[in-house]
Amino acid sequence: MGLLGWLRLGGASEADVRSEVWRLGARHNGWPLEGALKELNAPGLSAERAQLLRACVRKLRTA
């Protein structure tokens, strides 16, 4: 399933993903993909946050 299909199933909106990619880049010195992967490994990550980060990873890998 592609990103747009996932988004239609009630996940994060495309705008949410774009915003989070920008924030990841700001938090991780311009490396949003690496930052998302690192944050996915953090303990105590909520299911919603993990879902958003996975969507960011998919978007960044296709960019």
pLDDT digits (tens, 9 = 90+) for 16-35: 999 999 999 999 999 999 99
pLDDT at 59: 95
CA dist 3 → 11, 16, 26, 28, 43 (Å): 10, 13, 23, 23, 25
- Return mean pLDDT, the chain: 88
Q: Residue 22: CB partners within 8 Å, gap ≥ 6?
A: 32
Query: Which position has the higher pLDDT, 2 or 24?
Result: 24
Q: Would you state the pLDDT for residue 10? A: 56
- Which residues constitute the domain of residue 23? 3-62
3-class DSSP assignment, residue 32: helix
- At residue 43, the pLDDT reads 95
| Helices within the chain (DSSP H only) | 3-8, 14-27, 32-40, 47-62
- pLDDT at site 1: 47
SS3 33: helix
Number of folded domains in the chain?
1
